[in-house]
Amino acid sequence: MKTMEVRLTINGKPGAWMIAPGDLLLDVLRREGYFGVKRGCERGECGACAVLVDGRPINSCLMFAAQAEGREIVTIEGIAHDGHLDPIQEAFLDHGAVQCGFCTSGMVVSARALLARCPHPTEEQVREALAGHFCRCTGYKKPVEAVLAAAAANRHKARNGSRARQKPAVEVLP
């Protein structure tokens, strides 16, 4: 089997992977331990494998790993900072937007990209951003509410000039 090296930034850190030339990004991410990136339909329909490439959400099942050369990849594992959940993750918890959780990581990274580009989206814009994410528990309403709430919290924060809510990170059960 022929291999090649791909150099990239993954969740803020430089990385170098040995890959096969025909490897898909999804397969390599999971091989490297990023299990938050879910394997769903493997044909770009369900959005469970979404990650950010240079800040934009893409379906990692449709991208060759070799195309990641020189790019910045962010997976769900890179969304929280310093042990604190991202406000979008907080809002998903607060609003009961997580059922089985399989679609959640994709939805959160897409929402992250939306709010970075458009901090105060309309409900229509949130729906469009999440349209490529299938939730087979059919929980579409709560994620939309959660993203809108995260955006509203943003606005509140901007108005008050206060820092992000310092909530402890989710407790990890042994």
Partner 1 sequence: MFDRVEAFCRPASVPEALRLLQRGKGKARIVAGGTDVVVAGADDIRILIDITRAGLNYIRQKPAGVAIGATTTLAEIEQSELLRKTAGGILCRAAATCGSVSIRNLATVGGNLANASPAADMATPLLVLEASAVVAEGRGRRRVSLADYLAGASAGRFSQAILVELVFPLPPGGKHRGWSFQKLGRTAVDIALVSVAAGLQLDSKGRVKQARIAVGAAAPSAVRMPAAERRMEGHAVDAALIADASAEVERAVQTIFDVRASAEYRREMSAVLTARALRECVAAAGGSL
Stretch that binds partner 1, among 31-39, 52-60, 74-82, 90-98 (CB under 8 A): 52-60
Contact with partner 1 (CB under 8 A) among 5, 15, 18, 22: 22
As measured in angstroms, the least distance from the Cβ of 68 to partner 1 is 11
**Tokens found for residue 16:** 């170098």
As measured in angstroms, the least distance from the Cβ of 152 to partner 1 is 21
Nearest to 122 by CA among 114, 112, 134, 110: 114
Contact letters for partner 1, residues 120-139 (x by CB under 8 A): --------xx-xxx------
- State the amino acid at position 50 in one-letter form: A
Cβ atoms of residues 139 and 50 within 8 Å: no
What CA–CA distances, in Å, run from 108 to 18, 21, 27, 47, 156? 28, 29, 20, 11, 20
Contact with partner 1 (CB under 8 A) among 5, 45, 118, 141: 45
Residue numbers of the site for partner 1 (CB under 8 A)? 2, 4, 20-24, 43-45, 47, 50, 53, 56-59, 61-64, 66-67, 69, 110, 113, 128-129, 131-133
